[in-house]
Amino acid sequence: MKITISNITILVVLITVGSAIFIHYFYQKKLELFDCENDTFANSCFKCTKVPNQTVDFLVDSKGAKVLWRSYGSIKGTEISLASRVLENCKIFDTKNWECNDSYMLGRTYVYKVNQMTNGVFSSYDKWNHELQKGIQCAK
């Protein structure tokens, strides 16, 4: 096969696009995780306490209206995957702005779960019968 400028150009473009896709899906920016006192603080990730050695990242699937939430920890400087969870029925505006809220009845208790990213700041909390539960978090 004869090497031409157009063949080299096509190869460079394919490598560049392939690298960008690989980096986007496998090297998402990890966000630091924080515990918060209330939903107002969580929504802005303000006055919240950093969770030591824990980060999260999110892979957004706009076509499937899903977000993959992955949690990581660090033990003696080695990062390990702690958990992953798929958030479904999401309203996705872009990778930095989405919401995956859910509500249902659990016996006589109304449960409202909030998982959202607003301008790159993630917040997560549950309300049972309109009262906040423990586990209010944010990430930035």
pLDDT digits (tens, 9 = 90+) for 24-47: 444 468 999 999 999 999 999 999
Q: Confidence band (pLDDT; 50, 70, 90) for 4?
A: confident
Residue 17 is predicted with a pLDDT of 47
Assigned token pair, 26: 């496998």
What pLDDT, in 10s, does the model give residues 105-135? 999 999 999 999 999 999 999 998 888 888 8
Residue 132 is predicted with a pLDDT of 83
Contact 73, 56 (CB under 8 A): no
The percentage of residues in the chain with a pLDDT greater than 70, rounded to a whole number, is: 81
Q: d(Cα 121, Cα 87) in Å, to the nearest integer?
A: 16
Q: What is the pTM of this model?
A: 0.74
Q: Confidence band (pLDDT; 50, 70, 90) for 23?
A: very low
Q: Quote the distance between the C-alpha of residue 138 and its chain's center.
A: 10
